[in-house]
Amino acid sequence: MYDLATCEPHNSLIHGGEDNSHFMVIYQYDLDEFYLSNLWKSETTFYFKKIRNKQHNVIRNYNKVIRNISTKMQLVEIFRENNMYYCVIHTYKINILKRRWKKKYYSM
């Protein structure tokens, strides 16, 4: 099942534990929160301001990565590991579907 969430790369300096290659879920949104309020935009902006200028052990351009990913809502698949929620981003699949549909539509 896919969910709407904001996420960022796991960073041991912020989240604790060991660095890994997973994206960590910052907040998971239900459909009512998504459709009925725009609070998620202000929440992500506030969170980004709070964590900017942090360093990462592996990712050199960490600030640019979190600016591009953390401030956007993503379509994700959430899983739990070591009492933390991680996710696999699937937003790119929407773009693939749109491109294929566009090619098919214009080839008719």
pLDDT in tens, 86-101: 899 898 888 888 888 8
Residue 12: the pLDDT is 72
19/53 Cα distance (integer angstroms): 18
Which residue do the tokens 């929407």 mark? 94
The two tokens of residue 9 are 């790369």
First CA to last CA distance, the chain:
33
Helix %, strand %, coil % of the chain (to 5): 45, 25, 30
User: Residues 58, 13: contact at Cβ < 8 Å?
Assistant: no
17-64 pLDDT, tens per residue?
A: 776 778 888 888 887 777 776 666 666 666 666 555 666 666 666 767
Q: In the chain, what are the domain boundaries?
A: 3-107
